[in-house]
Amino acid sequence: MTKGQGFGFGLGKMKELAEAFKKAQEVQQGAKQLQEELEQMEIEGTSGEGTVKVVLSGNQEPLRVVISGDAMAQGAEALSELVTLAMQDAYEKSTATMRERMEELTSGLNLPGM
């Protein structure tokens, strides 16, 4: 090892490391805030005709289901299908919302796989 080289951790590398830690702390704080926001969100999914509505929180917890009289009149099998369609719609919307919010949170981080 040549005198003055240390372990390859020059001041530039230390500054990069400090910046990385700072950014990680910001992301951690942002993730906590995002989780709180998602808990408060209400995302609505509907059946094709809108006769059934399913409401999920932003983190996909079921909140409520609203079924119209018209949907009830269609019978149990049709009602079951309408509820499933509304659930799928709400799930897709909540997943897209979570993905978008996470992308906003991690933008500029250059994380592999994100």
> Could you tell me if residue 79 is inside a domain?
yes
What whole-number distance in Å separates Cα of residue 19 and Cα of residue 25?
10
Q: Beginning with the edge strand found earlier in the chain, give each strand of the sheet holding 42-46 in spatial order.
A: 42-46, 52-57, 62-67
Determine the pLDDT at residue 10.
62
- Domain of residue 98 covers 11-106
> Could you tell me if residue 111 is inside a domain?
no
> Could you tell me if residue 60 is inside a domain?
yes
Determine the pLDDT at residue 3.
53
Determine the pLDDT at residue 110.
58
> Could you tell me if residue 85 is inside a domain?
yes
Predicted confidence pLDDT, tens digits, the chain (114 residues): 455 555 555 666 778 888 778 877 877 888 888 888 888 999 999 998 899 999 999 989 999 999 999 999 999 999 999 999 999 999 999 999 989 988 887 776 655 554
